[in-house]
Structure 1
Amino acid sequence: MKENAIRCAWVNADPLYIAYHDEEWGKPLYDDQKLFELLTLEGMQAGLSWYTILKKRESFREAFDHFDPHIIVKYGPDKVEELLQNPGIIRNRLKVQSVITNASVYFDIIREHGSFGGYLWSFVDGTPIINHWESISDVPASTPISDSMSKALKKKGMKFVGSTILYAFMQASGMVNDHTLNCYCRA
């Protein structure tokens, strides 16, 4: 973490948020399970701020068995009720149930395409898109690519994968580099 560095305008002063921006956001991520975790957390963010989710990320990891799809896909009604009682996570029934549904689709994608990450990265031809935004106000909420990814994942049965959620996911996973031109992480 670089002190007194110029960062993207969305970063607040919390060291947790600064570390997330500096060390994770926009760095290409290819690991299937880590991409599943990130997609899950982005879905949990719907209607909330990423900062809220980030502060709860460790609780989410603990509650959802470190986002292991092999375990999550076997969750039943008792586990759903347990999760809905957990104050450390977002206790929204539809969001919780979507994680189980999405774990099942995760395996469908792997069976069909060989890897979850490979499938997701195929939407950007396997290479990060480098944008050149002057300020945060220039950054779109969604793009034709996130629209396409959203449509494809919904068709496969995934939930909480709207275009805006997926564009945030693409930014976070490094599929697009949306660090503003003045941000020291740009390089």
Structure 2
Amino acid sequence: MDQATLAAAPDFWPNRSPELRQYYASEWGVASHDDRYLFELLVLEIMAAGLSWQLALRKRAGINAAFADMDVDRIAAFGTADVERLLQDERIMRNRRKVTAVITNAQATQRLIAEWGSLDAYVWHFTGGCQQVGHWQDYHDLPRRSALAETVSRDLKQRGFTFVGPVLIHNYLQGAGVIDNRVDTSG
């Protein structure tokens, strides 16, 4: 969506804050193949669940610091004492289910990487390495879930991931650029 269209749609989510506008302009929908970033996006989606993406972006630096700069191996080794420490850390969303999901998902990511070679290879295999681009006439029509997200969500759950429902995974796939849903107002 271009800047003129954004300006004409004041209630569209990127317009809610400078952080959201920056994220939408520079990250959202941009195809990413970096394992650390792909894991970070999953963690941010989990932390934002039920809250707001704006809050996750505002706490992003603290979330990264609290979770070992998204080092999957270090997070996977977190134990009970780390969970309790994290539940006291004001830089993150202090929700036990979310904190334990991040640790569980780091452990599942280790297994996934052992099988696929990288998180990137796994995430992108669902689309044959191709970005799915959607063109919508109105931002109100942007889907909140997709068949692709339902497939990925189901597969992740079978692999031991938690907190990865189809709506969260749809948002994740959009953030990672696997799905690029853009509003086309060119007519």
Alignment of 1:155-166 (within 5 A): 155-166=158-169
Alignment of 1:1-187 (within 5 A): 5-7=4-6, 9-182=12-185
Does 35-44 or 5-14 show the bigger shift? 5-14
| C-alpha contact 1:10 1:136 (8 A) present in aligned 2 | no
CA distance in 2, matches of 1:182, 1:85: 46
Specify the code of the residue in structure 1 equivalent to 2:130. Answer: T
User: How far did residue 13 of structure 1 move?
Assistant: 4.9
CA distance in 1, matches of 2:87, 2:63: 12
User: How far did residue 48 of structure 1 move?
Assistant: 1.2
User: How far did residue 182 of structure 1 move?
Assistant: 3.4
User: How far did residue 179 of structure 1 move?
Assistant: 2.0
CA distance in 1, matches of 2:75, 2:4: 40
Specify the code of the residue in structure 2 equivalent to 1:6. Answer: T
Q: Which has the higher contact order (CA 8 A, sep 6+)?
A: 1
CA distance in 1, matches of 2:71, 2:183: 33
| C-alpha contact 2:13 2:20 (8 A) present in aligned 1 | no
Percentage identity across paired residues of the two chains: 38
CA distance in 1, matches of 2:123, 2:166: 13
CA distance in 2, matches of 1:71, 1:98: 15
Specify the code of the residue in structure 1 equivalent to 2:144. Answer: A
CA distance in 2, matches of 1:49, 1:177: 20
SS at match of 1:89: coil
| C-alpha contact 1:29 1:35 (8 A) present in aligned 2 | yes
CA distance in 1, matches of 2:90, 2:118: 33
CA distance in 2, matches of 1:66, 1:87: 16
TM-score of the superposed pair, with normalisation by structure 2: 0.92
What is the aligned-residue RMSD (CA, Å)?
1.6
Specify the code of the residue in structure 2 equivalent to 1:103. Answer: A
TM-score of the superposed pair, with normalisation by structure 1: 0.92
User: How far did residue 180 of structure 1 move?
Assistant: 1.0
User: How far did residue 176 of structure 1 move?
Assistant: 1.0
User: How far did residue 140 of structure 1 move?
Assistant: 1.0
